[in-house]
């Protein structure tokens, strides 16, 4: 009889994905004007990440949102409109930089708060920016007489107030 020996080794393969996300406001935050953000997603781990979900919702915050993305050692959509809701691939050391522009409502007051997130089965990163909303108000007042001015008689004025600002 022939002797046969079998040996099985089972190793768990671990992945080193380390996602980072940095979000900054790159414009003044003024009611009635465009606001721009830069969102940088990076994989600083030793393993590639496939299908990382990048989300950045703008509904109810900004309107007319458009965005572009530039990838270094990664891939995904390079432009879009509305919320960012994308699946991207990043090699170890890879990154994606999103540039976002949207219109802030002219009636906006208080603070503009926006959060972006990147997540994969191995890691998640989130960053929130909070900006005080400035107002651009430029009031003018014009007062004109609409009738001849005669001593002892009633005078009628037309008063016009206008806001030439964006807020």
pLDDT digits (tens, 9 = 90+) for 102-142: 999 999 999 999 999 999 999 999 999 999 999 877 778 88
Helix or strand run (H / E) with residue 24: strand 19-25
Q: Name which of 123, 132, 120, 129 is nearest 100 in CA terms.
A: 129
Q: What is the pLDDT of residues 62-77, one digit of tens each?
A: 999 999 999 999 999 9
- pTM, full prediction: 0.82
Residue 1: band (very low, low, confident or very high) from pLDDT cuts 50, 70, 90: low
What's the mean pLDDT in 22-47?
A: 96
- What distance in Å separates the CA atoms of residue 106 and residue 103, rounded to the nearest whole number? 9
pLDDT digits (tens, 9 = 90+) for 3-15: 777 888 887 777 8
């Amino acid at each position: 009889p022939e002797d046969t020996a079998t040996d099985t080794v089972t190793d768990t393969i671990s992945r080193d994905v380390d996602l980072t996300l940095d979000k900054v406001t790159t414009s003044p935050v003024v009611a009635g004007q465009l606001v721009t953000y830069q969102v940088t997603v990076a994989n600083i781990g030793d393993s590639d990440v496939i299908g990382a979900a990048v989300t950045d919702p703008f509904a109810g915050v900004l309107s007319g949102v458009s965005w572009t993305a530039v990838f270094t050692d990664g891939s995904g959509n390079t432009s879009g409109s509305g919320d960012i809701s994308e699946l991207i691939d990043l090699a170890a050391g890879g990154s994606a930089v999103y540039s976002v522009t949207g219109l802030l409502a002219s009636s906006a007051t208080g603070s503009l708060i926006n959060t972006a997130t990147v997540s994969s089965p191995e890691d998640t990163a989130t960053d929130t920016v909070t900006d005080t909303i400035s107002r651009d108000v430029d009031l003018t007042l014009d007062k004109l007489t609409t009738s001849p001015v005669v001593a002892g008689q009633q005078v009628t004025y037309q008063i016009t107030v206008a806001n030439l600002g964006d807020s």
